[in-house]
Amino acid sequence: MNSRPKILLVEDEQHISFMLQYNLQAEGYEIVAAMNGKTALNLYQSEKPFDAIILDVNLPEVDGFQILEKIRLEDTRTGILMLTARASDQDRLEGLTGGADDYLIKPFNLLELMARVSRMIERSKLFKEHKIETKNVSFTRWTLDHDSLMLKVSGQEETQLTALEADLLKEFLSNKDKVLSREHLLREVWGLNGDIESRTVDNFILRLRKILEVDPSHPKYLISVRGRGYKLTDPGEPK
Amino acid sequence: MSFLRSTFKVILHPIFIFVTSQMVWISIAILWVHWFVNAREVIEVMRSSLPLAIESHITITALVVGCILLGMLLVGSIWIFVVSQRQTVSLRQQQAFVSSVTHELRSPLASLKLMIETAETRRLSHDLQAQMLSMAKIDIERLLRLVNQVLLSSRLDRGVEDFSKTAEILNLKTILIQSTERAAWLDPSIQERVEMKCDDDIFVHASINALILIFGNIIENAVKYSPAGTPIKISVEKNQTSIRTTITDQGFGIRSQDMKRIFRLFQRGNIAISKALPGTGVGLFLVKSVTKILGGKVEVSSLGEGFGSSFLVEIPWKGPLHE
């Protein structure tokens, strides 16, 4: 039985794909590579489950955002890292709000990519082996079921979270009313060195606010603390 | 709320403000002339009753000069508007260009960086080292081609490029084969996709760089904007005055409203933009400009989205003396 973590690599640039395959295989991963969007979706269906997916955006036939959307409809647990030359804030936001766990811009640092992929795979493995604490965590109106990744909101329908959204929310729920810096969140949730990238955290906070807040543009629960980070707090029962 | 927002958007649009302000000017002028004509009798009475005589030619002169000044104001404001609109379009083009060129630079740079970092961190076999050097060379050539195209587009835009100095007698089939090979970095199986119909004895008098630039760009586009493996047909016809080369693909096609636009500098078709396909909006500008310098023309046809496209390049043939 093959115990090597399996990664779906979707990259249409031949040289980048070749070098990534070489490096990932050298780290002990099994790679399934696709050069265009259509093949990627076919391979995803025929070869799943994967432990992680590395996904380019500009792809022939079906673009990376469409692939992300299709995969997230049926799978919220597999970590997806967008690896793209599209560097605008709008693209980054589209990727992260669309369900990606990470967004890395080309040209990238090889060791950083390896660290991020490794962390995503660890998380995926923990979920598979049920090593993550599956006890429900509650706070004000919400109850997070970390086993099913469902967020129950009193009086409302349940919301399906991705694995990384659940991890991030759990970190806030475990540190209620405490200010958590971006560096802390990157270290604890992403498993990364805090000075690498902080906008990823900001984009995920926006994603959580869309789920938690009545008016995400005027957050009351998940608030920013200027110059320090973010805090999950209970402002009192809404009227 | 959205109705109010859209109304404000329309009211604050520069074209709306410009048209409204011109209508105000013209209305004031019409009212003024109307008042002057109607009040002329009163002015005449006032003139006769006043101790200081007002000459009638002074009032007529004032009317004529006033109209001329208003006309000058109108022309001036239209000119300022046209210039500012041109600048706005130019700024948008520059932004689109910076965005697309940056994107096109990132991929080969990422590939080169990845190879260097891999070489730094891993022990590589000689075979792999050789393969990586070969790939690095292709990436550098790709970067060079991009930089050269951008520089050439600038020279062509300023009208300072001259291909006549490097003109020579060339075999067209050889040029088309070389142009096809140029697109191999996009698809290594390009030779299998191309169906070429070109007689061996067709010769042209032109610069090799100019011809490869024209056909290479069109073939590269055919590869970029077509599904992998679909055929690309190249056919050449020669008549008494010209050589017509047609390159047809079975790709995403071009919308009718984009047919002219795609030949402008930094402009791209809507299908290419919406599908986020790579490109800079420089290639077809170069194709058109260089074909024009050679005394020829380029035309595009497409039945629309999903039906492929066909580029016809017509260059003059100056008779068998050149062969």
Other CB atoms within a 10 A radius of the CB of residue B193 amount to 21
Domains of chain A as residue ranges with CATH: 6-128 (3.40.50.2300), 137-232 (1.10.10.10)
Q: Does A206 touch chain B (CB under 8 A)?
A: no
Task: Quote the mean pLDDT of chain A.
Answer: 84
Query: Quick one: pLDDT band at residue A238, thresholds 50, 70, 90?
Result: very low
Backbone φ and ψ for A71, nearest 5 degrees, come out as -65, -40
Helices B208-224 and B283-293 sit at what angle, rounded to 10 degrees? 150
Q: Which residues contact B105 (CB under 8 A, 6 or more apart)?
A: B143, B146
Given an 8 Å threshold on Cβ–Cβ distance, is A19 in contact with B115?
yes
Q: Which residues contact B137 (CB under 8 A, 6 or more apart)?
A: none
- Distance CA(B258)–CA(B254), nearest Å, equals 7
Helices B40-49 and B14-38 sit at what angle, rounded to 10 degrees? 50
pLDDT at A15: 93
Looking at the DSSP bridge assignments, the partners of residue B195 are: B233
Other CB atoms within a 10 A radius of the CB of residue A186 amount to 19
pLDDT at A207: 85
- Distance CA(B96)–CA(B84), nearest Å, equals 18
Q: Is the pLDDT of residue A80 over 90?
A: yes
For β-strands A79-84 and A102-105, DSSP reports them as parallel
Given an 8 Å threshold on Cβ–Cβ distance, is B117 in contact with A13?
no
Q: Does A105 touch chain B (CB under 8 A)?
A: yes
Segment B89-101, tens digit of pLDDT: 778 777 777 777 8
- Distance CA(B124)–CA(B118), nearest Å, equals 9
Looking at the DSSP bridge assignments, the partners of residue A37 are: none
- Tens of pLDDT along chain B (323 residues) come to 667 777 877 777 777 777 887 888 788 888 888 887 777 777 777 777 766 555 556 667 777 877 888 888 888 888 888 888 888 877 877 777 777 787 788 989 999 999 999 999 999 999 999 999 999 999 998 899 888 888 888 888 777 777 878 888 999 999 999 999 988 878 888 989 999 999 998 999 899 989 999 999 999 999 988 888 899 999 999 988 899 999 999 988 888 888 888 998 877 887 777 666 777 888 899 999 999 999 999 999 998 788 899 999 999 987 665 44
Given an 8 Å threshold on Cβ–Cβ distance, is B110 in contact with A36?
no
Q: Which long-range contacts (CB under 8 A, 24 or more apart) does A168-175 make?
A: A168/A204, A168/A208, A169/A144, A169/A208, A170/A137, A170/A144, A170/A146, A172/A208, A172/A222, A172/A230, A172/A232, A173/A137, A173/A139, A173/A144, A173/A232, A174/A137, A175/A232
- Distance CA(A32)–CA(B317), nearest Å, equals 52
Q: Which residues of B touch A108 (CB under 8 A)?
A: 110, 113
Q: Does A25 touch chain B (CB under 8 A)?
A: no
For β-strands A52-55 and A79-84, DSSP reports them as parallel
Q: Does A23 touch chain B (CB under 8 A)?
A: yes
- Least reliable range by pLDDT among A28-42, A92-106, B41-55, B205-219: B41-55
- Distance CA(A152)–CA(B270), nearest Å, equals 43
- Distance CA(A186)–CA(A163), nearest Å, equals 15
- Distance CA(B43)–CA(B49), nearest Å, equals 10
- Distance CA(B271)–CA(B254), nearest Å, equals 7
Q: Does B111 touch chain A (CB under 8 A)?
A: yes
| Tokens of residue B89, six digits | 């379009």
Q: Which residues of B touch A36 (CB under 8 A)?
A: 228
> Any idea what the Cα angle at residue A64 is, between residues A60 and A65, rounded to 5°?
130
pTM beyond cutoff 0.80: no
Of residues B110, B118, B121, nearest to A107 (C-beta): B110
Looking at the DSSP bridge assignments, the partners of residue A222 are: A232
- Distance CA(B286)–CA(B154), nearest Å, equals 10
Of residues A63, A86, A107, nearest to B109 (C-beta): A107
Give, for B78, the enclosing helix (H) or strand (E): helix B56-121
Segment B176-230, tens digit of pLDDT: 999 999 888 788 889 899 999 999 989 998 999 899 999 999 999 999 888 888 9
With a pLDDT cut of 70, the percent of chain A lying above it is: 91
With beta carbons less than 8 A apart as the criterion, state whether A72 and A26 touch. Answer: no
pLDDT at B55: 59
- Position with higher pLDDT, B45 vs A177: A177
Q: Which residues of B touch A13 (CB under 8 A)?
A: 107, 110-111
Of residues A20, A26, A106, nearest to B106 (C-beta): A106
**Nearest-Cα residue of chain A relative to residue B306:** A61
Given an 8 Å threshold on Cβ–Cβ distance, is A87 in contact with B102?
yes
Within 13 Å, how many C-alpha atoms sit on residue B277's CB side? 23
Q: Is the pLDDT of residue A239 over 60?
A: no
